[in-house]
Amino acid sequence: MPTSDELKLRIEQALPGAHVIVEDLTGGGDHFRAKVVSNRFDGLSRIQQHKLIYDVFGDEVGGPIHALSIKTQTPGDGR
Amino acid sequence: MTNQEIRTFIENAVKENRVMLFMKGTPDQPACGFSMRASGALNALGVQYAALDILPDPRIREELSAVSGWPTIPQLFVDGELVGGSDIVMEMLGSGELADLLGVEQPAPSEAPAPEEQPRQAPIGIENRLS
């Protein structure tokens, strides 16, 4: 069963320098929320930004990771 | 019904409906909180949209994700383009971008998230079209 620490680590490895917060929403190891701040998102649409995160986990999203809620930001982004 | 036929049906649904939502359950009876939020966002804006329940056949979801490159449900398409899943839809509802994209007025903040509002259009049913 994946943990929020494991998800955080994998996102950080895929996007070096990213600031990542992952919460396990239910404590059950299957519903997560990730907030990722990375300059890799510069110039990308939201779709492309979220896909970068989904791509880290491939088929696991929808499988062991039942739900992964994503919020992406660039460092200069005031949102 | 072959996988190719399902894929063609999905592609046509995206082409033929300006606002097309793939979800778990229906706008009347969403089967997942994320799908409920996405259809609730569209209901709150009062736009007409088509909705397709992906649950009746697991191949619908497989083919949809193959077409869109997006792994999760719901998926909202506008003008043939993937807009995103529930996170993006809710973010865009809050910022007013979704109203802009759909060409409607942004509702007053108090009425923005209103998943309980009635959908404007009956969902199309995959079981009716695919059988």
Average pLDDT, integer, range A27-55: 94
The predicted pLDDT at position A67 comes to: 87
Distance of CA A59 to the CA centre of its chain: 14
ipTM: 0.80
* Chain A residues inside the 8 Å CB shell of B85: 50
Flag residues of chain B having pLDDT under 70. Answer: 109-131
- Could you read off the pLDDT of A5-17 as tens digits, one per residue? 999 999 999 999 9
Helical (H) or strand (E) element with B63: helix B58-68
Q: What is the pLDDT of residue B51?
A: 97
Q: Which residues of B73-84 are buried (b: 16+ CB within 10 A; e: fewer)?
A: bbbbbbeeebbb
Shortest alpha-carbon distance between residue B66 and chain A (Å) = 12
Q: Which of residues 20-59 of B touch A (CB under 8 A)?
A: 34
Instruction: Please give the CATH superfamily to which domain A4-73 belongs.
Output: BolA-like (3.30.300.90)
Q: Which amino acid is at A46?
A: R
Predicted local confidence at residue A20, as pLDDT: 98
Evaluate whether B42 touches B9 at the Cβ level (below 8 Å): no
CB-CB neighbors (< 8 A) of A62 in chain B: 65, 71-72
Which of A47, A51, A60 to probe by mutation at the B interface, max B CB count within 10 Å?
Answer: A47
**Contact between chains at B69 and A67 (C-beta distance less than 8 A):** no
Q: Nearest CA to CA, how far is A12 from chain B (Å)? A: 20
Average pLDDT over residues A30-45: 94
More confident residue, A27 or A22: A22
Q: Order across the sheet with A67-73: list the strands.
A: A19-24, A31-37, A67-73
Contact B88 A47 (CB under 8 A): yes
| Chain position carrying tokens 């990542």 | A20
Helices (H), B17-57: 33-45
For every residue of A14-68, DSSP letters joined together read HSTT-EEEEEESSSSSSEEEEEEE-GGGTT--HHHHHHHHHHHHGGGBTTTB-EE
Give the per-residue pLDDT at B106: 87
User: What does the pLDDT read at residue B131?
Assistant: 39
Shortest CA gap B59–chain A (Å): 14
**What is the model's pLDDT at position B21?**
98
Phi-psi region of B111 (alpha: psi -120 to 50; beta: other; left: phi over 0): alpha
Question: Which of these ranges, A37-41, A70-74, B112-116, has the smallest mean pLDDT?
Answer: B112-116
